[in-house]
Copies of this chain bind each other. A is one copy, B any other.
Amino acid sequence: MTSKQEFVEKLRNSSLRPTKQRINICEVLFNRDKTFHFTINDLFNLIKDKTGEKVSLATVYNTVHAFHKKGYLKEIPINSNQTYFDTNVTDHHHFFDVKEEKLIDLKNEDVGPIEIQKSIPGKKIKSVEVLVKLED
């Protein structure tokens, strides 16, 4: 449970002004027990539901991208009509339940170490992500 004041400080420390909208978004995103996988639209609706205050869709986009750029959100590579984000920014992998369109965290130890044996001259590895698709 992070207090409103803590969000204000974290935003300031990231040179993001602590606006009412951003604080509401923080509460929805980060005041929860488990990691949260969401689309912009999910988040847009949850803000209204959980805080009672409406934030414009444009602001949700702006804020999510600001947080993403600061490293507070991770984008999950999936083929979907919508982009998925994740509050768990540590290195980890995912199940994707194709029918339910839902992501489930896979811990690194659920997958085991992955050693990439090939390299491309002039390029270095930025991330290694495993996506496990699930069906019934």
A127 pairs with B132, CB closer than 8 A: yes
Known: A130-B130, A132-B125. A110 touches B104 (CB 8 A): no
In the assembled complex, which residues on chain B have CB atoms less than 8 Å from the CB atom of A79?
75-78, 83
Instruction: Other than A75-B79, A95-B120, A124-B135, give 11 A-B pairs with Cβ distance below 8 A.
Output: A77-B131, A97-B120, A107-B118, A111-B117, A112-B114, A112-B117, A123-B135, A124-B134, A126-B134, A126-B135, A129-B131
What's the Cα separation between A83 and B79 when bound, in Å? 7
Docked complex Cα distance between A125 and B133 (Å): 6
Copies in the complex: 2
Annotate A96-125 by CB proximity to B: 1 below 8 A, 0 otherwise. Answer: 011000001011011110111110101111
Within 8 A of B (CB), among A68-96: 75-79, 83, 95
